Each structure stands twice: as C-alpha cells, then as structure tokens.
Amino acid sequence: MISGFCGKIALLSLPPPLLRLLLACALLTSVACSRAPKHGELAPLVAPRWRVELPVEGFGPATVALPLAATRPRPIAVVLHGARDRAEWQCGTFRGLLGGQVFILCPQGQVAEAGLYGLGSVDDAEAELRAGLRALKARFGAHVAPSPILLIGYAEGADVAADLARQEPSFFSRVALIHGDPSALSSSGVKIFAERGGKRVLFFCTEPACEQSGAERALLLTRAGVTAMSVKRDVGPYLDQAFVAALRGDMTWLLEGDARFASARR
C-alpha cells in the first residue's frame, strides 16, 4: 500500500509535459493490448503523439499527422504550404478539417528564412513529395492505404499542386487549390486531368481576381467531365479560425463519394 502511494507521489512530481507523455503512452498501449485484432484488422497504430517528424531521404523531415489507433489502412492527404511557412502549421490546421483517421503528409520544403520554408521549384517539390511518400509507406507499412491521394495546396503550394495534378490525375484525383492562382491549372492541364482519371477540384478563393479565374477553370473542368467548384469567401489570407470555418463545408464537398474519408471524419 505504502509503495503504491509513494509511486503515485513520484509520478505527480514529474514535470507536466513528461507526465502527459507517460499517460498518453500508457493509454495507447492499453488500447493496443486490450484485445487481439479481428480478422482482417491490423494492430492499432501507436505513437506517443498525433504529430511526428518523418525523416525524408535527401530532404528535411516532413511533418505527419497520424491516424492513431487505426486498425485498417487509412488514406493519405498531402498538404503543400505557402512561402515563408511551416509544415507543422498546415498539418495541424488540416487535421482539424479532415479528422484524426487520415495520414496527413506535410513536406518541409526549402529554407526561405530563419525558421520558415518555401517549396522551391515544381521539380524540387515533386521530388521531395515522392521521397516523403516512400518514407511514409516504409515507416507505417500496411496502415497506409493505396492511392488515390487527396492533394491540397495553399497559396504558393496551390500552384505546385496544380502542376502535380496535371502530371498524375489518377493518383491525385481530388485537389484543393486554396488561396492560390487558379490559372496555374492551364487549359491543357484541365484536359489532361479530365482524360486521365481526375475526379474533383475545389478552387477556394479569397480575392476577386482568383474568383474570376477560378470560375473559368471550374467551368472548363465541368465541361470536360470533372466535378469542379470555385468559391470566394471573405476570409484570409492566413489560416486562422475564420478561414478554417469557411473552408470546412467546401472540404466536405471535395470529399463526397470517397468512403475512406467519410469514415475518417465521423
């Protein structure tokens, strides 16, 4: 009795961050060990935090939001940040929008200034993203669902996302271009996206010029057979609470018809 009491006192004397970490590990371990996986299930995905750094060969570490306790393969969302930005900021924002049962991969990009990052060229961003996807699969294995992947680009990241969507429409079949330049998805890009498996595109605008260009691109995509929508919201440019609240319903629209994300958002 006394030793048990002393043990509790020792735990309570630990610094709060360390105590929270120990309690989180204990909770996740108890979940993982509470029952054997059912037929067709994986062992629950366990980690000390919902957000981790992922080493990426040849590049800086990516930030990943994890689907903790997942027992089935979970889909991937990729978020490309803007100029002078940080990957962890984007991962936190979009975890709130997409739910906690999705892998959200946020590449670090290249140093822009002290503590902040850009994406570099399209070729640089593409190479880093592919290396990040390989690292994600290598680390989390069967918990990672196969493509298609949700592709989200914010600000300058939207321009890069538009080019990636043109290159591999069936792989990045649902795309959100947020607070960017819709014309980055060229007329030829629209045609390629439609013909090679693209499904749905959201243009989320915060400025009049974007609104007009987004409406034009959405019309071209619709005529080509892709479900597309352009909206303008009086928010931004930063991903603050008002921006996220305005974006929430439009992200729900973007994911309609993909049961993998529907189950993740419950």
Residue 247 has pLDDT above 90, yes or no: yes
Cα separation of 62 and 216, whole Å? 34
pLDDT on residue 264: 58
Same domain, 54 and 7: no
Nearest to 149 by CA among 177, 173, 126: 173
Q: Is residue 105 located within the same domain as residue 7?
A: no
- CA neighbor of 184 nearest in space, from 207, 208, 210: 210
Among the listed residues 154, 164, 172, the one whose alpha carbon sits nearest the alpha carbon of residue 117: 154
Dihedral sign from CA coordinates of 203, 207, 209, 211:
positive
Residue 82 CA: distances (Å) to CA of 4, 153, 161, 215: 52, 8, 11, 22
Write the pLDDT tens digit of every residue in 143-165. Answer: 999 999 999 999 999 999 999 99
Say how many C-beta atoms besides its own lie within 10 A of residue 172's C-beta.
24
The pLDDT of residue 34: 47
H or E stretch covering 227: strand 227-232
Q: Are residues 47 and 86 in the same domain?
A: yes
- Considering the domain architecture, whether residues 75 and 27 belong to the same structural domain is answered as no
Whole-number Å distance between alpha carbons of 39 and 43: 11
The count of domains in the chain is 2
Tell me, yes or no, whether 148 and 18 share the same domain.
Answer: no
Q: At 204, phi and psi to the nearest 5? A: -110, 110
The domain that contains 161 carries what CATH number?
Answer: 3.40.50.1820
> Residue 139 pairs with which residues in a beta bridge?
none
201-212 pLDDT, tens digit each: 999 999 999 999
Question: Do 173 and 196 share a structural domain?
Answer: yes
Residue with the larger pLDDT of the pair 47 and 236: 47
Give residue for tokens 């309690």: 23
The whole-number pLDDT of residue 13 equals 59
Do 104 and 128 fall into the same domain?
A: yes
Q: Is the pLDDT of residue 66 over 50?
A: yes
pLDDT at 6: 43
Task: Look up the domain containing 252 and give its range.
Answer: 43-264
- Considering the domain architecture, whether residues 86 and 28 belong to the same structural domain is answered as no
pLDDT digits (tens, 9 = 90+) for 167-198: 999 999 999 999 999 999 999 999 999 999 99
Query: Are both 181 and 256 inside the same structural domain?
Result: yes
pLDDT of residue 31: 45
* 113 and 137, same domain (yes or no): yes
Helix (H) or strand (E) holding 218: helix 208-223
pTM: 0.85
In which element (H, E) is residue 59 found?
strand 59-65
Cβ contacts of 143-147, under 8 Å, gap ≥ 24: 143/42, 143/45, 143/67, 143/70, 143/73, 143/74, 143/103, 144/73, 144/74, 144/76, 144/103, 145/73, 145/74, 145/75, 145/76, 145/260, 146/73, 147/76, 147/171
Residue 139 shares a structural domain with residue 176 = yes
15 and 126 in a single domain? The answer is: no
